[in-house]
Amino acid sequence: MPQLNIAEAINRALREIMQEDERVIYIGEDVGEHGGVHGVTRGLLEAYGKERVIDTPISEIAITGTAIGAAMNGLKPIAEIMYQDFIFIAMEQLINHAAQAKFMSAGKLKVPLTIYSQFSLGRQHGPQHSQFFLSHFANVPSINVVLPSTPYSAYGLLRNAVKQQIPTIYLVSAWEYFRFKENVPDEKFELPYGKARTLKQGKDISIISYSRTVYPSLRAAEMLEKEGISAEVIDMMTVSPLDLDTPKSSLLKTKKGLVVSDEHEPASVSSYIAQKLNESLYGKLDRPVMTLNPPFMFVPFSPALEKVYMIDENKIVNRVKEVLN
């Protein structure tokens, strides 16, 4: 079984998807000749040609709209928005049209559209190239919000995106692209949407996370193990649809929980998850499910400040101890 990093896993998934289905096209800024700003789409243009791998002008509204129209008319476009911060330019297309079309047409229109984007928190990219917002998307009906965290999930979740009838936002952490390797089976597979994955078993506390904070959560669990604390680690995989059953079963066992996320806490998906779990498990836990988020401020550029801002394994360990005591 080959060890791949996330960038390689995504590249493999894209090549396979395009090989298997001629309806898939890839459209975005610098995705073809240049192979993407991080090299994730390298080789696609050579393999599949200019009709399918399209280098566009810097026009986020038109990139997204074009992909929506193509999706409505028989194709399965993947539109890349270079940084998550730039999706805001295209939010009108995404919410009013991509997400609403199926409802608005009483089911006549399908929009098998994938929006591929990354966020660069942890890469000293400053306030407008580092932001990680989920509630903006998760608050919209009829849209999948998909958060790969490891090469295995990056591969399996992306393969599922082109099989959807509603739009999928596939949002990956660029900080992770080349940082970790994982075994990804040679056999093709897809991971379902709305199904969390338990990455590590434990009995004292459930750490519930998604996206970039999954690896720090796993490392925190290893550190806690050495101190005799057994933490279960759950990767939510998608936050829309949202699987609350997996964390619920885990919490019924551990009785204590912590949701860890790179989002700001107010009106976040993380606080929503904690709230729903606390509502449904009222009286059955030792204490309410708690959260760990970065401070409510924009991401500072200063490498020293960004490090303080970001969640890492040490912060998770400390927060777990607070919850346990």
Distance CA 214, CA 253 (A): 21
264 among known catalytic residues: no
Distance CA 39, CA 50 (A): 17
Tell me how far, at minimum, the Cβ of 19 lies from other proteins, in Å: 17
Tell me how far, at minimum, the Cβ of 166 lies from other proteins, in Å: 5
DSSP for 37-56, please give it.
TTSTTTTHHHHH-TTTEEE-
Tell me how far, at minimum, the Cβ of 319 lies from other proteins, in Å: 34
Q: List the interface residues with other proteins, window 9-38 (CB under 8 A).
A: 25
Residue 72 touches other proteins, criterion: CB under 8 A: yes
Q: List the interface residues with other proteins, window 139-198 (CB under 8 A).
A: 141-142, 144, 164-166, 193
Interface with other proteins: number of residues (CB under 8 A): 44
For the record, the structure tokens of 120 come out as 């660069």
Distance CA 79, CA 77 (A): 6
- Residue among 225, 218, 173, 179 nearest 200 (CA): 218
Residue in 54, 115, 220, 311 binding other proteins, rule: CB under 8 A: 54
- Pick 107 or 127: Cβ nearer other proteins: 107
Residue in 30, 39, 91, 109 binding other proteins, rule: CB under 8 A: 109
The 10 Å Cβ neighbour count of residue 197 is 18
Residue in 38, 97, 125, 129 annotated catalytic: 129
Burial of 81-91, coded b for 16+ CB within 10 Å and e otherwise, reads: bbbbbbbebbe
Which span (31-39, 102-110, 173-181, 255-263) binds other proteins, by CB under 8 A?
A: 102-110
Residue in 4, 9, 82, 101 binding other proteins, rule: CB under 8 A: 101
Whether 239 contacts 138, CB under 8 Å: yes
- Residue among 163, 162, 165, 229 nearest 202 (CA): 229
- Pick 64 or 213: Cβ nearer other proteins: 64
Which residues contact other proteins by CB under 8 A?
25, 51-52, 54, 56-57, 59, 61-75, 77, 92-93, 96-97, 101-109, 141-142, 144, 164-166, 193, 241
* Residues involved in catalysis: 129
